Structure 1
Amino acid sequence: MERIVATALQIVDEEGADALSMRTLAQRLGSGTATLYRHFDNRAALVAHVVDRMFGFVAFDVDEPSSTDWQEALRTGAHAMFDALARHRNAARLLVEQVPLGPNAMALRERCVAVLLDSGFPPRTAAQAYATLARYVLGFAVQANRHEGADRTEDAQAAATFRSLDPDLFPATLTVASEMPVPIEEEFSFGLELLLSGLARRREV
């Protein structure tokens, strides 16, 4: 089972989520599709295992969370999720297809929600906060580009475009042109701090 799921994730990483099928996976493994159907009822079941394998790469642990460290715990967890999912951003797109309910995903959800509950957030707010945080991380992870050479070229082109804007049409954008484009990792961290600040105010009400 471990080899099958690892190979499925490799296919998605290399060729994209649409490339994953029972036939493609069987060919990569050098076996027949009948063998795979003994482990998975359908592609959706296979996808669920691939998604959960990604969550197994999230290096996040919380010991005895308290009301004073919840922001740091969630910050650490969000960055750990982002790093893990961004390394497999083709596979991260599979999260759009289903709610992750595998053991690794459930364990991560449990730790994060426990942090919120133990810190005084009511159940509904804790549930909404985790869902919002998870979707925020996923959105950035899907967009993350780890090809640094391509990033630098695209950033340079975008920066040149911003600097060449007509000041009469885009005065505000031209004012901040030297700060754009913002690297996605900085955007992620900045937005995460806004989310945590908003949650802190919610907790104080």
Structure 2
Amino acid sequence: MASRRSPKLDKKQVVETALRLLDEVGLDGLTLRAIARELDVQAPALYWHFKNKQALLDEMATEMYRRMVAGVRFPAGAGWQERILVSQRGLRAALLGYRDGAKVFSGSRFTGIEHAVEMEANLRALVDAGFTLSQAVRASTTAFHFTIGFVTEEQGVSPLPGERREGYDLEERAARMADFPLAAAAGPEVFQNYDEGFDAGLDLLIGGIETRYGVR
């Protein structure tokens, strides 16, 4: 039986293997045993780094965040609206890079404080624009929750770019719902054109924030 402290195994290697395996088996199939098999070690070796699957998911979400912020650039002098747009578009792109990416990210706890840098900057932009801190937190977290929910539903239909789950044929859906013409015609708006739908949702959200708090 392999030692719990395998010399050929480190934390980063486990996380990178888990993220790669996630694309193959999805969140439900991602077990510590499957990861250990992929790494050619005994499962107990992983417990040296992660006490359970949730601890691994926390580190996976943190690594996903690190990779996301490395590719996000805010224009100089970006206002709060633009910071919301850029950060949420970046988050969506990052989550779509992994099968069940939104499910992994949702509810996970970051293992470091790297996220505080962007969080501080986003809140500062909102407060400097006239929001109270409470309003700034509510606005930014609502945008975050919108993105997580949107991508969760999007990946329920299209687990990875180019894939489409069985049962989401729009013509078959329209035929089944022929007695409900508006609901039948809504299919393309609900189950395709996700890029347009996401941006439209962000526009609605930002407009609602402006109206609710009276800050432009």
Please indicate the TM-score interval, normalised by the length of the shorter structure: 0.7 to 0.9
Q: Which runs of 5+ in 1 are unaligned?
A: none
Partner of 1:157: 171
In structure 1, how many angstroms separate the alpha carbons of the residues matched to 2:116 and 2:27?
A: 22
Partner of 1:148: 162
SS in 1 for 2:131: coil
Partner of 2:72: 60
| Contact 1:22–1:36 (8 Å) recurs in 2 | yes
Partner of 1:77: 87
SS in 1 for 2:188: coil
Residue 110 of structure 1: how far off its partner (Å): 3.2
Q: Which runs of 5+ in 2 are unaligned?
A: 1-10
Residue 173 of structure 1: how far off its partner (Å): 4.5
In structure 1, how many angstroms separate the alpha carbons of the residues matched to 2:73 and 2:161?
A: 29
In structure 2, how many angstroms separate the alpha carbons of the residues matched to 1:83 and 1:12?
A: 16
Residue 20 of structure 1: how far off its partner (Å): 2.4
| Contact 2:61–2:108 (8 Å) recurs in 1 | no
In structure 2, how many angstroms separate the alpha carbons of the residues matched to 1:11 and 1:35?
A: 18
| Contact 1:48–1:102 (8 Å) recurs in 2 | no
Partner of 1:198: 208
In structure 2, how many angstroms separate the alpha carbons of the residues matched to 1:133 and 1:103?
A: 20
Cα RMSD (Å): 2.9
Residue 147 of structure 1: how far off its partner (Å): 4.4
1:197/1:141 CA distance change after superposition, 3 Å: same
Partner of 1:10: 20
Q: Residue 16 of structure 1 aligns to which amino acid in structure 2?
A: G
Q: Residue 55 of structure 1 aligns to which amino acid in structure 2?
A: Y
Equivalent position to 1:94, from 100, 104, 112: 104
TM-score by length of 2: 0.76
Structure 1 outlier segments of 4+, above 6 Å? none
The answer to whether structure 1 residue 40 and structure 2 residue 46 are counterparts is no
SS in 2 for 1:127: helix
The answer to whether structure 1 residue 117 and structure 2 residue 127 are counterparts is yes
| Contact 2:123–2:137 (8 Å) recurs in 1 | yes
In structure 2, how many angstroms separate the alpha carbons of the residues matched to 1:13 and 1:74?
A: 28
SS in 2 for 1:148: coil
**Deviations for 1:146-200, whole angstroms, at most 9, x for unmatched residues?**
443638x9454257438x724xxx46557xx3x7412222221111100001112
Residue 138 of structure 1: how far off its partner (Å): 0.8
1:186/1:18 CA distance change after superposition, 3 Å: same
**Deviations for 1:113-132, whole angstroms, at most 9, x for unmatched residues?**
23222322111111111211
| Contact 1:65–1:115 (8 Å) recurs in 2 | no
The percentage of aligned residue pairs carrying the same residue is 28
Partner of 2:188: 181
In structure 1, how many angstroms separate the alpha carbons of the residues matched to 2:139 and 2:35?
A: 37
Partner of 2:5: none
1:147/1:200 CA distance change after superposition, 3 Å: same
| Contact 2:173–2:187 (8 Å) recurs in 1 | yes
In structure 2, how many angstroms separate the alpha carbons of the residues matched to 1:55 and 1:132?
A: 18
